[in-house]
Amino acid sequence: MSQGETIKLGNNFKVEFIRSNHSIADAVMLSIWTPAGIVIHSGDFKVDYTPISGAPLDIHRLAEIGRKRVLALMADSTNVERPGYTQSEKVVGQKFEDVFAANTDKRIMVATFASNIDRVQQIIYAAAKYKRKVAVIGRSMVNVVKTASELGYLTVPEGIMIEINDVKRYRDDQVVLIMTGSQGEPMAALSRMATSDHKQIDIKPGDVIILSSTPIPGNEKTVSKVINELCKKGAKVVREDTHVSGHAAQEELKLLHILVRPKYFIPVHGEYRHLQKHAELAMELGMRRNNIQIPAIGEVIELSNDGCKVVGNVPSGQVLVDGLGVGDVGNIVLRDRKHLSQDGLLIVVMTLEKESGMVVAGPDIISRGFVYVREAENLMDEAKAVVRKALDRCEQKHIVEWSQIKTIVKDDLREFVWQKTKRSPMILPIIMEV
């Protein structure tokens, strides 16, 4: 969609795209026109008066919509805890040029989000200014750069782009590498270079690596690990002033609220503390608490002239992909995998006579991830003795149901192992009948 374009959804609904001034390729601001009123979804946005590409946020259109009946606003809450305004994207461009100017004889690498088109554009501008070739590394980065160039979102000077395999043909001071991995993702290009696991590029002393991002909460350890590995290889890591947020700070959020003047407000995009803080910000601007709804994931909200309320729930949460299976790995399977990874597995194999239920072979115990059998023969012999006693007890009580026998064996063996090792491996009894 382009600025001002609308899509009709039936006779009484339409969606309009509003210029959101965000550097991330997938961010949009939408106004959704319904019979009950207009609903605005901000997407990820900020007010950048000097954007890298395109025009600034369309404040006039927002004000025009605000003069109509805006039923509800759903707004980005990620930076609601930050006072003031978010810096312009051009600040990062100046930092890039400073780093390029100070390292004219070094190979320069920049790691950033693949979806941040404006950031990639500024790297290309800096490379062109200092007469360097640009190579793109990482599947997502390659795909985004290719698609953005074809659609006209990225301006690439003629002859500046080279293939990654051609980098070795140029001196260090002639190339810039743009890659993924700014969040320490294990399979991303930068992480694989840090661990010497990248097939085409090796980090060497003197390389200058710009991390153009801020660690997402929870990624701090992985990012620090990558930085440490890069430093061990003699690279210089530059992080200061190499990133500005793509999310609106408090004053920009206030501007959005005042422009659109919604009847109801639903804070979105952020953790619960961000949503709550955004709700407080809206109340400071005069909105009543009853007109604010902080939803939980999966809750269905009904909007009408009479209210804004939760009316139900839909399935939500993580969908796990394992091999060719999508969503077929649930909590029980994950619990079993965690159990196996922490305490290991004991398999107890027994052969019983079909008619009498007497033990004719075994029990044999197989250990995987619990103890090394050859170094724990005494423990295994004692464990077998415990299982034999359990089977003898079953025979004396004329217990022939497999499920009961397995339960008794598991309980006795689990108690014995815990007393001896203070560990609780998964115990899997297997009964064969002859």
Collapsing DSSP to helix, strand or coil, 175 comes out as: strand
In terms of Cα–Cα distance, which of 150, 52, 39, 144 is closest to 92? 52
Please, what is the end-to-end C-alpha distance for the chain in angstroms? Answer: 70
CB neighbour list of residue 290: distance below 8 Å, 6 or more residues apart = none
Q: What is the DSSP letter of 116?
A: B
Q: Which residues are catalytic?
A: 76, 247
In terms of Cα–Cα distance, which of 288, 265, 291, 262 is closest to 278? 265
Q: What is the 3-state secondary structure (H, E, C) of 246-306?
A: CCCCHHHHHHHHHHHCCCEEEEECCCHHHHHHHHHHHHHCCCCHHHECCCCCCEEEEEECC
174 burial (CB, 10 Å; 0-12 / 13-18 / 19+) is: middle
Task: Answer whether 183's CB lies under 8 Å from 222's CB.
Answer: yes
* 245: phi then psi, degrees, rounded to nearest 5: -70, 155
In terms of Cα–Cα distance, which of 385, 386, 396, 387 is closest to 358? 396
